[in-house]
Structure 1
């Protein structure tokens, strides 16, 4: 009995940590890129990937939290590089969008991931869903259209970046299933991150130097005036890794379906928390749009569960 109770507390603790880290990094990214005025999203993404590289090595290789899966061929490494490129595009575009959009709209657009996943799954693998699954995606898209149209802080470039980030996230999911589908190439998320993160740093470095070339000098100069920026960047980067670790542990100790359901609720929680913290205005019609999107995602999860 005590063991069961302990396991429940452990699972609840993991879910709480997952929620806190996901929402925390979203809000901290928004604060740094918008409110604080640190307008370097590509450099911030590179910091995230650097932390993921170092901490993945410590967790997988040194601490052996999960068994290490070795690369089997150059072809497998090439596939991981492709995934890393798409992953970079997703995280970088998402961070750029936070410069211009409120977190509430960012999360609403992010909720359309199932729509893009269904589109890419059909285009790449010709995989089709049931009519009911496709029907549940309609309120998801309509809700985002309503929320975007009624958003007082709407910014077209930020909107495009956020849609791009969402599409790239969905594309990575589909490509991962295609590229690493053979039994010998499958990897758990922690091992995949171990190999993807360093490749992402290599990809992001020249982009950072070209588009944000003086960011290191600016950051050092800023740290002399306000040293908190150093702690913000360090904490933010470590949190980026912890998000991946918490997601892996929650999936391991519950199920992929539970994670999907909890993820739907997490989006709604993030919207409410961001509105309270950043005080961004939201009309009644806009709230209806957000609610419609969340409802659509919940219906989508139920439809997917029944179709299996």
Structure 2
């Protein structure tokens, strides 16, 4: 007999698997961010064409998702009407393509560590959109926390030696489009009972993104690439980069599906600190005491936001359990 209170082998296995999912997601997210910065930065690989890079990702993901669903039968496709596709998937794809385009463009103008700092504003934007669309209830405690997060970002931006107004505008625009996409997924798809895993999401979304991005690419980047006869696409670099981006989508599916979205949100804080440390020690991004103060202030705010979400989730689960117990205890009367 095992000792009373000792954790079971199944419990320990689940804990280890959860940490494994977190580790894989952090590694792949880390790899994609560093890889994209390496390709787009003029001082590193020197290929500052964010639309083209995103097109490579979308074409690769489209082909691979098609093969996994229709050839290898790895997952079952989701039946979707033409109306739902046009009214939900198409606008979500448009927002996603804009988010990817602008976020990749920001790497040309800003340091990677400062971009990670700006991404901490995502909870602020999502909460603001949720309140504006009446999907979230206004809370003074949450709003003060959002202001605290914004203050930390402002302090870090004040002492940023590579501050570029256009780069900040691009990154903030990317965050707004991404937040709108996440809210729209909840509004248009999840509310209708349609949940897409990353493979089926890419199966529907990636081709649409490719078409949306093809239009600005023809007018903005294609003429430059056409005149740049000295450039030859390195299939090893771009193929590996696209594969990492696809693998990251699968890691997100595993992390959220096997743990929770809240776990991913908390793990993001760890990932951001690791990225900032990497870009400071290896890429030699500037990191001052003011930066550290701003970063710490922001991450504490994000951590508190996650704590509030955890409390709300626990309260919701407790209400469900109490309601279930009441239903079980209610006597059944027969006529």
TM over 0.5: yes
CA contact (8 A) 1:136 1:303 kept: no
Distance 2:139 2:173 in 1: 26
> Structure 1 residue 115: deviation in Å?
0.4
In structure 2, C-alpha distance between the alignment counterparts of 1:192 and 1:64, rounded to whole Å:
15
Q: Is the 8 A contact 2:156 2:291 kept in 1?
A: yes
In the superposition, relative to structure 1, how do residues 23 and 215 fare at CA in structure 2: closer, same or farther (>3 Å)? farther
Query: What's the counterpart of residue 263 of structure 1?
Result: 268
CA 1:16–1:215: 2 relative to 1, 3 Å: farther
Q: Kindly tell me the number of residue pairs found equivalent between the two proteins.
A: 304
CA deviation string 1:236-277 (max 9, x = no partner): 111111111101111111122211211222122222112222
User: Take 2:276 and 2:289, find their aligned partners in 1: how far apart are those partners?
Assistant: 14
What is aligned with 2:332? none
CA distance in 1, matches of 2:78, 2:32: 28
- 1:194-243, Cα deviation, whole Å (9 max, x unpaired): 201000001111211110014654787333xxx7x332111111111111
Provide closer, same or farther for how the CA distance between residues 69 and 215 of structure 1 changes in structure 2, counting only shifts above 3 A: farther
Aligned mate of 2:179, from 166, 170, 180 = 170
Deviation at 1:52, TM superposition (A): 1.6
Instruction: Mark the CA change 1:10 to 1:305 in structure 2 (over 3 Å): closer, same or farther.
Output: closer
User: Which residue of 81, 97, 122 corresponds with 2:90?
Assistant: 81
Distance in 1 separating the partners of 2:312 and 2:21: 29
2:150 pairs, out of 141, 152, 160, with: 141
Q: Distance in 1 between matches of 2:188 and 2:287?
A: 41
Task: Name the SS of the counterpart of 1:263 in structure 2.
Answer: helix
**CA distance in 1 between partners of 2:159 and 2:186 (Å):** 36
CA separation in 2, counterparts of 1:119 and 1:132? Answer: 14
Where does 1:63-102 land on structure 2 (aligned, <5 Å)?
63-102=72-111
1:53 to 45, 62, 68: 62
1:166-211 deviation per Cα after TM superposition (whole angstroms, max 9, x unaligned): 1111111111111114444343343222201000001111211110
Query: Radius of gyration: which is bigger?
Result: 2
Show the counterpart of 1:18.
Answer: 25
Relative contact order higher in (CA < 8 Å, ≥ 6 apart)? 1
After superposition, the C-alpha distances for 1:135-174 in whole angstroms (9 at most, x for unaligned) are: 2212210111111110111111001001111111111111
Post-superposition Cα deviations, 1:56-115, rounded to whole Å, max 9, x if no partner, equal 223333334433212133233331010000001111100000001011110111111010
Mapped to 1, the partners of 2:282 and 2:194 lie a distance apart of 43
3-state SS of 1:248 partner: helix
Distance in 2, matches of 1:54 and 1:124, equals 36
The alignment's TM-score, normalised by the length of structure 2, stands at 0.84
1:241 paired with 2:246, answer: yes
Q: Is the 8 A contact 1:76 1:185 kept in 2?
A: no
2:303: which partner in 1? 298
Q: Is the 8 A contact 1:90 1:169 kept in 2?
A: yes
For the aligned residue pairs, the C-alpha RMSD in angstroms reads: 2.1
Partner of 1:288: 293
Verify: 1:107 aligned to 2:111, yes or no.
no
Structure 2: stretches of 5+ with no match in the other structure: 1-7, 314-335
Which of residues 46, 50, 57 in structure 2 aligns to 1:41?
A: 50
Rounded to whole Å, the distance in 1 between the matches of 2:263 and 2:110 is 29
Note if contact 1:87-1:169 (Cα within 8 Å) is conserved in structure 2: yes
Whole-angstrom CA distance in 2 between matches of 1:194 and 1:284? 45
Determine the C-alpha separation between the residues in 2 that align with 1:63 and 1:146. 51
TM (normalized to structure 1)?
0.91
Q: Which deviates more, 261-270 or 65-74?
A: 65-74
Indicate the SS of the match to 1:53: helix
Q: Cα 1:230–1:219, aligned 2, differ >3 Å: closer, same or farther? A: farther
Specify the SS of the correspondent of 1:70. Answer: coil
